């Protein structure tokens, strides 16, 4: 079940704007986690790194493949989930919660609005 209010990219990252702030939390969609299989490694970026929308911010490796992760919005990485590389099973058990990867302070808040909503993402997945 995909939560409401979360936005998605065609490369299967999710983004959620935190209430009362402009900070955007970013993770990997349930669909992507299912496609990857067992995740065995996650590379985290450095706090303070500036990313543009579509920039690679991390790499995740599974038993099947290595995949680059792309930032849904541009801005400054203000937080990374330091616990996640030691708890990779969270990707499967809580893909839209504790398995968030980074938090970004967006340079242009309107970029968030250009991402797919839940219904659009579900339609996109049907076409794959």
**Cβ neighbours of residue 86 under 8 Å, at least 6 residues apart?**
none
Nearest to 74 by CA among 91, 89, 56: 56
Distance CA 38, CA 65 (A): 10
The pTM of this model reads 0.95
Q: Quote the percentage of the chain above a pLDDT of 70.
A: 98
Tens digits of residue pLDDT in 36-90? 999 999 999 999 999 999 999 999 999 999 999 999 999 999 999 999 999 999 9
Q: Check: CB of residue 58 under 8 Å from CB of residue 43.
A: yes
- Taken in order of first residue, the domains within the chain and their CATH numbers are 7-106 (2.40.50.100)
Distance CA 40, CA 119 (A): 30
Tens digits of residue pLDDT in 37-49? 999 999 999 999 9
Position 119 pLDDT exceeds 90: yes
């Amino acid at each position: 079940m995909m939560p409401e209010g979360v936005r998605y990219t065609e490369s299967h990252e999710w983004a959620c704007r935190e209430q009362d702030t402009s900070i955007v939390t970013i993770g990997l969609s349930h669909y992507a986690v299912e496609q990857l299989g067992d995740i065995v490694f996650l590379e985290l970026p450095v706090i303070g790194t500036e990313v543009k929308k579509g920039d690679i911010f991390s790499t995740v490796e599974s038993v099947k493949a290595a995949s680059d992760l792309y930032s849904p919005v541009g801005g400054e990485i203000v937080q990374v989930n330091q616990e996640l590389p030691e708890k990779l099973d969270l990707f499967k058990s809580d893909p839209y919660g504790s398995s968030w990867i980074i938090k970004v302070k967006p340079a242009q808040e309107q970029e968030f609005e250009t991402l797919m909503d839940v219904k659009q993402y579900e339609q996109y997945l049907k076409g794959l």
